[in-house]
Amino acid sequence: MNSPKAAKAGIADMPPPIAEGGIRFLLGGDRFVLVEVGEGMELSLNIKVIQLAKRIMDEKIEGVIETLPMFVSVLIHYDSLALSPTRLRSVVEAVWNEMAHEVDMTLSSRLIELPVYYRDPLTRECVEQYNRQIAPMEDNPTYVARINELGGPEELVRRHSSTQHWVAGIGFYAGTPELLPLDPRVTLTVPKYNPPRLYTVAGAIGVGGGFTSIYPVDSPGGYYIIGRTPTPIYSLDTRLVPFRGKATLLEPGDRIKFRPISPEENEFIEAQVKAGTYRYLIWDYELFSFSRYSDWLAGLDHSADQI
């Protein structure tokens, strides 16, 4: 049976699955298209997506307003009165094909160090509040360690801070990153709160699914929380260098290194942030080579005692 309405609007029955190396171009009203490059959540596809989003902007095509890379798709915001969707499609395909012919993929990727007070009292208070008001809830780092068969919360902290995390996309809320560990051996698998938490302190480090995220502002949330960074990732305080002309710290394709800090250092950094004198550690000259990363991955020792 064919839907008359769908047929009238010129809708094909079912798009074919994405062929190896191909893309799918999906309409979203007259100002947006979603370009999908794959079905799964592979890091290699995400790296291509971030590259594609950036190159479409670099082309400076009249009518392209902005791009949003996230996991395996790029959302393109455009002005269809200046650029027809057909023309946009051919531009995107041309950029994609050009990328396919490149032997290596090297992209600029900043390395950002974020100090983290793991197992801190503020996130613990969020959990205890949930425990009192909503449902029984175990100490989160202890629970996450247990269901991932780790020795305990200390091992969780050691693993979580041992790898760089890749910023696979940003959004939902201002500056909220979706982070993947670049070392697959320390991936955590964690369910989400059900029902969600009503309050999470800004700066909390959450783990859910296979991801890590950071809460930019006080907000509800569903990820298990294992620590907190005293350094804002979203701010309107222009005394802090990253927030001049920008309200968010992170960009897709950045890498984050979490550095465990003591309660004393946490207090020290909080005071610096409050005074507007904190200096973020950002290495913005770094490049990320996908082929060298792949080689590194292939040579990894997966026996548990290597971490």
Q: Which residues contact other proteins by CB under 8 A?
A: 1-3, 5-6, 8-11, 13-15, 26-32, 34, 36, 39-41, 53, 65-75, 77, 80-81, 84-85, 169-176, 178, 216-219, 234-236, 245-248, 250-252
Residue closest to 114 by CA, chosen among 250, 253, 271: 250
Beta strands in the chain (DSSP E): 24-28, 32-36, 64-70, 73-78, 106-108, 111-118, 164-170, 177-181, 197-200, 204-208, 211-214, 219-221, 224-228, 255-260, 281-283, 287-289
Q: Give the nearest distance from C-beta 215 to other proteins in angstroms.
A: 11
In the bound state with other proteins, the residue whose beta carbon lies nearer, of 50 and 261, is 50
Closer residue to other proteins (CB): 145 or 214: 214
41 vs 107, which CB is nearer to other proteins?
41
How many other CB atoms sit within 10 Å of the CB of residue 120?
22
> 230 — phi, psi (to 5°)?
-75, -5
Q: Which residue, 77 or 292, has its beta carbon nearer to other proteins?
A: 77
The residue among 198 and 296 lying less far from other proteins, judged by its C-beta, is 198
Minimum distance from residue 206 beta carbon to other proteins (Å):
15
C-beta closer to other proteins: residue 13 or 264 = 13
Residues in the chain: 307
Alpha-carbon distance of 255 to 124, in angstroms, equals 27
Give SS3 for 188: coil
Residue 92 CB, shortest distance to other proteins, in Å, is 14
Minimum CB separation of residue 208 from other proteins in Å reads: 11
CB 276 within 8 A of CB 183: no
Please answer whether residues 235 and 227 qualify as being in contact, where contact means their C-beta atoms are separated by less than 8 angstroms.
no
* Shortest separation between residue 93's beta carbon and other proteins, angstroms: 17
Alpha-carbon gap, residue 191 to 221, rounded angstroms = 13
Nearer to other proteins, 105 or 247 (CB): 247
Token pair recorded at residue 225: 């929380």
Name the minimum Å distance from CB 128 to other proteins.
23
CA distance from start to end of the chain: 56
Please state the separation of Cα 233 from the chain's center in Å: 13
Q: How far is the CB of 175 from other proteins (least distance, A)?
A: 6
